[in-house]
Amino acid sequence: MESSSDEEEVRTFVQVLSEKYNPENFPYGQGIEVVAFTHLPGSPFKDRLFLPSNLVLSGCEISKAGDKSDIAAFCAHVVELDLSNNKLEDWGEICTIVSNVPHLDFLNLSKNPLSAMELESSMAHVFSRVRQLVLINTHVSWDTVHKLTQHTPELEELFLCLNGYNTVAESQTSCQSLRLLQITNNQLQEWVEVRKFGLMYPSLDTLVLANNSVHSVGDTQETLQHLFPNLRSISLNNSGLSKWEDIERLNFFPKLEEVKAKGIPLLEPYSTYERRSLLLAQLPSVVVLNGSAVSNGEREDAERFFIRYHQDRPEQELPQRYHILVSKYGQLAPLAEVDLSPRSTMVDVRWGERVEAVRLSLEQTVDDLKKHLRALLQLPTSGMRLFYINREMCSVFGPEELKCGCRALHSYSIRDGDEILVVPKVKSRCSSSNL
């Protein structure tokens, strides 16, 4: 009797599909594609279902596939399939579903218990059309991952987050098509594990390693150039990097232009402005840092700051990048007036005929100031230009536009009684201050 009861509780893909997308749930006019087929004898389906091309069957307690003829009849046009947070643990059932969805491009199997059973090589070919594969929090084995990548010649994006990996098992066969690997929230620590991705995925464009414990970037320039010839973007947020040498080695990736490195031990002692400036100065090829685009003006400011930051150190402690930048800009005089400690000042904000006294935290950036003024003046940040007017020197220098959204206010040496002029934009934007 118990087994009969258990059988009745089994939820199949076919059953859930029929329940969720039956005509009673989707009346005409809701933008759902209507797919009509001849009613199959013995099928739980009505004569038609209203099926979109992207099926979302997340959290439906599915553990079995159901009749493959039904799946084939109703899923001929489906390109995206979300089966996350179900009870699928048998790769045979998953293969029955996938093999009957002929145009499947995106497959999400996240939060299914896939650790106990291995995928058979003889079944892996059914995934050959998949371009995006999401296996987050499945604890799927590396052996199964390799079988999947070996049989998906067009796979471009692979998501392996939250799978408890502390090592990476190598594959004898590389996946030439993979461009994005997201493997966040695992327990990878040693660079010797990370470097295996270069061997297995030689076309890798984006590597997201956030929330692992990777504590160094190892290997020589020649090795990194060979292993990651196409890597354009890397995320090392909340990793364990603690040495500037590891940041310098990022320059060894020949095509790297985007870096994320928030929350690393190396940067804890520095202010927000110092962190970004020191990182930028060490990464001359990076055009997007921590999600924000780098302007030419910001790069020059950062490189000059880098020189001044290091210039009083003993010769043997100077980083190599210091000498390169000195050859570019020459020896710079210290800026005694620049105070990087958090403080505030009172300024007059002028907008047309209106003048408001506003207290500013000089640790704020220009973007922060715009957001503050948006509420005060009821003017969108994209619709305002800001100019700083030094009360004592305005007759000599005139207004200075605050162009760089990432730049801290203290770097402009703003003092009590100075003025911020707000000018509404009247022309179309030529740049974005919110990057």
What integer pLDDT is reported at residue 396 of this predicted model?
Answer: 62
Sign of CA dihedral 127, 132, 138, 144: positive
- How many angstroms separate the CA atoms of 386 and 143, rounded? 57
Give the max Cα distance, the chain: 94
The pLDDT-based confidence of 202 (bands split at 50, 70, 90) is: very high
What pLDDT was estimated at residue 4? 43
411 against 189, higher pLDDT: 189
Between strands 180-182 and 206-208, the pairing is: parallel
> Among 3-7, 154-158, 269-273, 313-317, which stretch is predicted with the lowest mean pLDDT?
3-7
Q: What is the pLDDT of residue 19?
A: 86
Q: With residue 7 as reference, give the H or E element that holds it.
A: helix 2-9
Confidence check: pLDDT of 18 > 80: yes
Average confidence (pLDDT) over 331-360: 75
Domains in the chain with CATH codes:
2-237 (3.80.10.10), 344-424 (3.10.20.90)
Q: Give the residue with greater pLDDT, 403 vs 111.
A: 111
Provide the pLDDT for residue 1.
40
Degrees to nearest 5, angle at CA 324 with 322 and 329: 90
The confidence score (pLDDT) of residue 434 equals 37
- State yes or no: pLDDT of 432 exceeds 50: no
* Per-residue model confidence as pLDDT tens digits over 52-67: 889 999 999 999 999 9
Closest CA to 214 of 263, 181, 253, 180: 263
For range 93-99, the mean pLDDT: 98
Distance CA 44, CA 17 (A): 10
Does residue 199 surpass a pLDDT of 90? yes
Q: Is residue 285 over pLDDT 80?
A: yes
Q: Cα–Cα distance between 123 and 99 in angstroms, integer?
A: 9
Q: pLDDT per residue over 140-173, tens digit each?
A: 999 999 999 999 999 999 999 999 999 999 998 9
Q: In this structure, what are the phi and psi dihedrals at residue 19, rounded to the nearest 5 degrees?
A: -70, -45
Nearest-CA neighbor of 298 among 408, 207, 139? 408
Predicted local confidence at residue 435, as pLDDT: 31
Task: Identify the weakest region by mean pLDDT among 38-42, 127-131, 300-304, 376-380.
Answer: 38-42
- Distance between CA atoms of 402 and 50, rounded to whole angstroms? 54
Give me the chain's average pLDDT, please. 87
Read off the pLDDT of each residue in 410-429 and give the average, rounded to a whole number.
78
Residue 391's pLDDT band (cuts 50, 70, 90): confident
**Which is it for the CA torsion 158, 185, 230, 224, positive or negative?**
negative
Q: Answer for the pair 188, 212: CB distance below 8 angstroms, yes or no.
A: yes
Residue 302, pLDDT above cutoff 50: yes
Q: Which of 417, 403, 419, 412 is nearest to 370 (CA)?
A: 403
Please tell me the distance from the alpha carbon of residue 56 to that of residue 33, in angstroms, as a whole number.
14
> Above 60 in pLDDT, residue 264?
yes
Nearest to 145 by CA among 161, 333, 264, 129: 161
Percent of the chain with pLDDT over 70: 87
Pick the closest to residue 248 from 188, 189, 321, 297 (CA basis): 321
Confidence of residue 372 (pLDDT cuts 50, 70, 90): confident
Q: Which amino acid is at 327?
A: S
User: What local confidence, expressed as pLDDT, does residue 360 receive?
Assistant: 84
Per-residue pLDDT for 319 more than 60? yes
